[in-house]
Amino acid sequence: MEFILLLTASLIPLFITAAILFYYNSILTRALSMFLVTVSFWQADISFLYAEPLFGADTVDILFRAFRIGTIFVMPAVYYFSYLLVKEAAQSKFVQRMNRFGLIFSLIVSVLVYAVNLTDLGIAGYAHINAEKFSPSYLLPLYGALSWTFKIDVVLVFVNSIYLLIITLWLKNVRSRKFHLTLVLSSLLIFINGVLSGFFVIPLYFSSLNTIFIAMILFIGFFQMQSSQMKKMNRRLERQSGLLQSIMQINPHYLLVQDKKNRIVEVNDAFCSLFLITKKDIIGEEFSFEQLEMPESEYEGIHYLKDERGKNHLIRWEKRVLHDYYGDYYTIYFGVDVTEEKQNEQLLIASEKYKVLGDMAASVAHEIRNPLTTIRGYFQLSHEKAPKSPLQSIVIEEIDRINEVLKELLLLSKPQAQVGPAKLSDPIGIIHESKNLHLLFEAMANKQNKEIILENRLPSEQWIRMDQMHFKQVFINIVKNALEAVKEKGKVKIILDSNQSYLRVRIIDNGNGMTKERLAKIGQPYFTSKEKGTGIGLTICYKLIKDTNGEITVKSKLNHGTTVTFLLPRDRGTGSLSHQ
């Protein structure tokens, strides 16, 4: 009966070992498990001394010698804790080598002592101890000639325990230090209890009962340390999760995460801002990409979206599937806004077109100037012989303007650095120039059964500092486009007024107007809706107005007409028309 109780008690450290390894599998848990296994074998070894009535003396001798592996190898098991702590903390190679030497030395000593234990030099026989009041009968080992090896092993156990105690006191981690102190004190109690039992100070079976109590203390201490470490790791994970959440929220790309059930688990602020929604509106909702209702754009793999504010976006959407440790997976959709990138690409394309245009302009200007010079010469000669007419002066001026336009073509896409101070243009009167140009187009409009009206809302002549030829070129180009846009009996209206420090010219037609797509491309080189158009007229106008620090805007509505407005800085340093 005593044997069964003691053997059962010796199994408790094994159950604790199995529980520890089941929940935690690390170097520390394996070290603790080895220690508890040696303690369990040690206590099983003691229980066999009470098993003579069941097995007989010979069987007890075999079992006792075999299970003394726990009693003897508890010494290197204790040293292994010190070995792990020194290995983790020490940086010196010499200390590391000495640490390994200490572990190997303790193992060799234990192997030699265990070998002696298997011979009569270790255990010579057994004495039968009769039962007393508080102690049942048992067999007492009689040690042989080499029993001093057992004493060396016991001494080394205490030395290793003290060595571990010293190392433990140097630990900086409070939780780890607390556990290792519990381990050292528990092992010392076990060893002291074993020594006292061996010298008959207390009954032999008391060591088994104390071992159960101490194993439970180690078990509780270990799980307290693991629980503290888990709490610390959870707090660290919470901080990391918060950091990742912050990174996700400040990410300028549009991010959406859904689980394997297609439910939304996370979106970032950029995504919410794009679709004008809040997280609580969509978290937990089922999601498919088609719900975003974004058609394919003209660019491959890029979707078009017009948000609630009316702003257009070009977004490249991609997705990735992420697998976690437990086998679940999440799909992350991320959209990159490439609107500005595509606009820059269009600017680059436009720049290349400007370069081609410059090369073409050089050859075209040369071919046109020669016959133009001849035409002007003959017209000037006939003008001098015939009676003078205002229309003749206008024709000569327009021929000169054509010549100047040819020069400006070279500056359209190949502007050159200006050496020295810029030459200021002479101021021109905007009312005077507009009336002359209106006169030029009036005959053309009448012939086409269209009406062109000049409405002057300025109180007196106003001046702008702009090259006269440039002004005429812009004016004629825009008015010509307006006349071409209106149908028969259509109307083009030219309004002159002022807007703060600017003089404003508005050219309004009641033609068919333009779509938003066509309006967005106005001013780009080579873009034209005309069958024989070149697409460079408005491009030149934009550049000429910009060169004078002015502004040009185009507004249009389909089936209602178009309004072109250009603002020109007012020149306040001029007086009357005589300055021309």
Question: Rounded to two decimals, what is the model's pTM?
Answer: 0.45
Whether pLDDT at 553 is above 80: yes
Residues 115 and 264 in one domain: no
Contact 514/562 with Cβ under 8 angstroms? Answer: yes
pLDDT at res. 381? 72
Find all residues with CB under 8 Å of 301, minimum gap 6, and list them.
Answer: 316
| Residue 43 pLDDT grade (very low, low, confident, very high; cuts 50, 70, 90) | confident
Residues 190 and 68 placed together within one structural domain of the fold: yes
Residue 242 lies in a domain: no
Domain limit, last residue, from 209, 233, 257: 233
**Residue 446, Cβ density class (10 Å: 0-12 exposed, 13-18 middle, ≥19 buried):** exposed
Report d(CA 115, CA 111) in Å as an integer: 6
**Average pLDDT in the chain:** 78
User: Do residue 92 and residue 17 come from a single domain?
Assistant: yes
| Alpha-helical segments (H) within 251-315 | 269-275, 279-282
Give the per-residue pLDDT at 575: 44
CATH number at residue 360: 1.10.287.130
Q: Which of 484, 535, 553, 485 is nearest to 513 (CA)?
A: 485
The pLDDT, as a whole number, for residue 415 is 43
Retrieve residue 420's tokens: 């020295």
The token pair at 363 is 């050859």
| Measured torsion, CA atoms of residues 241, 246, 249, 251, in degrees rounded to the nearest 10 | -110
The whole-number average pLDDT for the span 212-225 is: 70
Is the same domain home to 329 and 384? Answer: no
- Residue 167 counted as domain residue: yes
Report the number of distinct structural domains present in the chain: 4
Domain end call among 299, 322, 341: 341
> 51 with 162, same domain?
yes
Per-residue DSSP letter, 238: H
**Mean pLDDT in residue range 241-251:** 79
Question: Residue 7: CA atoms inside 13 Å, Cβ hemisphere, count?
Answer: 11
Would you state the pLDDT for residue 580? 37
> 270: domain CATH number?
3.30.450.20
pLDDT, residue 496, reads: 93
Of 315, 341, 367, the last residue of a domain is 341
Place of tokens 């602020």: 269
- Please tell me whether residues 509 and 402 are part of one structural domain: no
**Alpha-carbon span 67 to 74, nearest angstrom:** 12
What share of the chain in percent tops pLDDT 70?
A: 81
Helix or strand run (H / E) with residue 146: none
Stretch among 103-112, 189-198, 326-335 having the lowest mean pLDDT: 189-198
User: At 110, which helix (H) or strand (E)?
Assistant: helix 93-117
Name the least confident of 54-58, 105-109, 161-165: 161-165
- The answer as to whether 575 is a domain residue is no
Is residue 419 one of the residues assigned to a domain? no
Phi and psi based region of residue 523 (left: phi greater than 0; alpha: psi -120 to 50; beta: remaining) = left
Residue 337 has, within 13 A of its CA and on its CB side, a CA count of 16
44 or 310, which is more confident? 44
Q: Are strands 491-499 and 329-337 parallel, antiparallel or unpaired?
A: unpaired
Q: Give the position of tokens 């679709």.
A: 275
Indicate if 177 and 288 belong to the same structural domain.
Answer: no
Give the integer Cα–Cα distance in Å for 303 and 293: 9
502, pLDDT greater than 70:
yes
Does 196 lie in the same domain as 133? yes
* Residue 98 within any structural domain of the chain: yes
Same domain membership, residue 26 and residue 132: yes
- Residue 493 sits in a domain whose CATH number is 3.30.565.10
Residues 149 and 109 in one domain: yes
Beta strands in 380-501 (DSSP E): 428-429, 451-456, 463-464, 491-499
Phi first, then psi, for residue 45 (nearest 5°) are: -60, -45
Higher confidence at residue 46 or residue 388? 46
- Tens of pLDDT along 249-267? 788 888 888 888 888 888 8
Report the relative pairing of strands 463-464 and 451-456 from DSSP bridges: unpaired
Please report whether residue 241 resides in a domain: no
Query: Is residue 214 located within the same domain as residue 326?
Result: no
Band of residue 292 on the pLDDT scale cut at 50, 70, 90:
confident
Q: What single DSSP character describes residue 225?
A: H
Q: Which domain holds residue 159?
A: 1-233
CB 480 within 8 A of CB 470: no
Measured in Å, how far apart are the chain's first and last C-alpha atoms?
Answer: 132
Q: What is the separation of C-alpha 409 from the centre of its chain, rounded to a whole number of angstroms?
A: 48
Write out the DSSP string of 281-303.
HHTT-B--GGGG---B-SSTTEE
Q: Tokens 């719900």 label which residue?
A: 291
Tokens at 339, concatenated = 């609107």
**DSSP string covering 242-262, please?**
HHHHHHHHH-SSEEEEE-TTS
> Please, which contacts does 143-146 make with residues 24 or more away whose CB atoms are closer than 8 Å?
144/119, 144/120, 145/121, 146/116, 146/119, 146/121, 146/122
Asked whether residue 210 is domain-assigned, the answer is: yes
Together in a domain, 371 and 481: no
Is the residue at 316 inside a domain? yes
pLDDT at 357: 65
